Amino acid sequence: MSKKFTDYGPQAVTPAGDTILWQNAGVTNSNFQTKTELFAQILSEIGGLDFQGTWNADTNTPTLASSTGTKGEYFIVSVAGSTNLDGITDWQIGDFALFSGSVWQKVDNTDSVSTVFGRVGNIVATNGDYSISQITNGLSDALASASIFVGNVSNVATAVTMSGQATINNAGAVTLTGSPLFSGLQVGTTATQDGTLHVHKASAAGTASTLANLIVAEDNTSNGFSVLVPGTSGIRANLFLGNPANPDAFKCQWSNFENLGTIGTNKTNSDVRIVAGAGLEAIRIRSDLFVAIGTAIPTTLFNVVGDLAGDIGFFFNDGGTDDRNGIKIQGGLDTNPTTAMDFITFADGNGTEIGFIEGDGAGGVQLNGFSSDRDVKTNIVDTQYGLGDLVKIKIVDFNYKKSETMPQVGIIAQDLFDVFPEAVNQPTTIMVRDPNDKEKQLEKYKPWNINYIKVVPLIIKSVQDLKNEKDSEIAELRGRLDELEAA
């Protein structure tokens, strides 16, 4: 049975000491000895070799064909390729293409080593032969300066001063134990070393704050930092801010077993504030539990200060049913609060108090305003209105469009305006800020309405006029009666 010459060729290249060895049929020999035996085997099979020159295995130049050739002729591959010669398609530079008399055979010389570190002969590794990418473990000596921080086979660390940037490219986890010190550490980024821990996933397309940041998380998606703990009873996730003297002065906390989030301060006599916009203070919670919105100095337990067109507050209890109540105010005596108890105080833009909703001492409340005080009035004269005007006011039955099933009785503001305009507020349109867009103004329509308190003086004056008329009539009747009795 004829043998292929690859059966005798080198099977592997194995470094041992300073000599490059070839392994031939399970026997380890020197390079020279192995080649000598190989050619001896070739000569015994073929009877002699006839070198024909080099062969381009990519373009098949000169042209070679399967099962065609002269016994003993061989070529050395100069250009690697995949030309098919008797089923052999893997041709590398240095391989022999040899015709055995019936088929082409390959002598595989690609495993041969021509040089090590660019040197030939008895080679001994020297300082600088290996690069960082070639090192795995098992080093027994310190590396050259400015290379890397490593440990030797005894796990003794060797500190090496480095300059520039160092990259750890690892598919698995990288664990740092002990107490490593960094002047700056970037994860997933090539950011300039600036004394921060910079975690970079994707560019946030912006510039970090110019403040002294210690931790920067950068991404172009909705990601950030997570502080996670087990949901075991008594264990909470905490983020603390402070200084060495008060390391937990401010905390953000989540308790999974309580379903409770906490934000605040642990330091005595310290406030919590929330800023918005360009660093403007929006909310302050003082250590005495006073809360302020729009001001840093609350004067009552709850302060709201603003400067905007329209309403400063809005309470909305949705649902569309009669059990959706509004605001409840509790205070004063447990029973029958007196006028000393002001449930609501009204003041003008200068802060001058102009009225109250106060207790009435009988279990109810009453509206009390300062507008009746003589000291706030001038040009005081008897009114021109009276009974004649009162009887002109038209009283009607009606239904509100929002509640057409409930009959009402009252006065139409437009009708009253023709008789007693002082008690009527005409419709107005004011501009208020859009609650959904602070840069946008909306028109707010205020319809006709009646100030029924102002109708009371007209009623009083009409009663007085009626009494005067009746007194005059009675006096006239008495006079006539006296005349009849005297006749």
What pLDDT shows up at residue 455?
92
321 within a domain of the structure (yes/no): no
Are 413 and 368 found together in one domain? no
Same domain? 26 vs 98: yes
The pLDDT, as a whole number, for residue 162 is 58
pLDDT of residue 308: 76
Q: What is the reported pLDDT for 25?
A: 40
Positions in the chain short of pLDDT 70: 1-47, 110-114, 120-121, 132-214, 217, 231, 370, 435, 438
Does 419 reside within a domain?
Answer: yes
18, part of any domain: yes
In degrees and rounded to multiples of 5, residue 457 shows phi and psi of: -60, -35
Same domain for 47 and 88?
Answer: yes
Among residues 67, 90, 107, which one ends one of the domains? 107
For residue 251, is it within any domain? no
> Is 296 within the bounds of a domain?
no
391 and 375 in one domain?
Answer: no
- Residues with Cβ within 8 Å of 99's Cβ and at least 6 positions away in sequence, in order, are 69, 70, 71, 72, 73, 74, 105
So what's the pLDDT on residue 241?
Answer: 81
pLDDT at 6: 40
Q: Is residue 341 assigned to a domain? A: yes
Domain end, chosen from 91, 107, 123, is at 107
Separation between Cα atoms, residue 96 and residue 77, nearest integer Å: 6
| Count of structural domains, the chain | 3
Q: Tell me if 63 is assigned to some domain.
A: yes
Q: Can you give the pTM of this predicted structure?
A: 0.48
Cis peptide before 180 (omega within 30 of 0): no
Q: Are residues 11 and 92 in the same domain?
A: yes
Domain final position from 78, 107, 136:
107
Instruction: Based on the fold, state whether residues 403 and 372 are members of the same structural domain.
Output: no
Q: Which domain holds residue 411?
A: 385-487
Q: Quick one: which of 328, 348, 364, 366 has its CA closest to 356?
A: 366
| pLDDT attached to residue 46 | 61
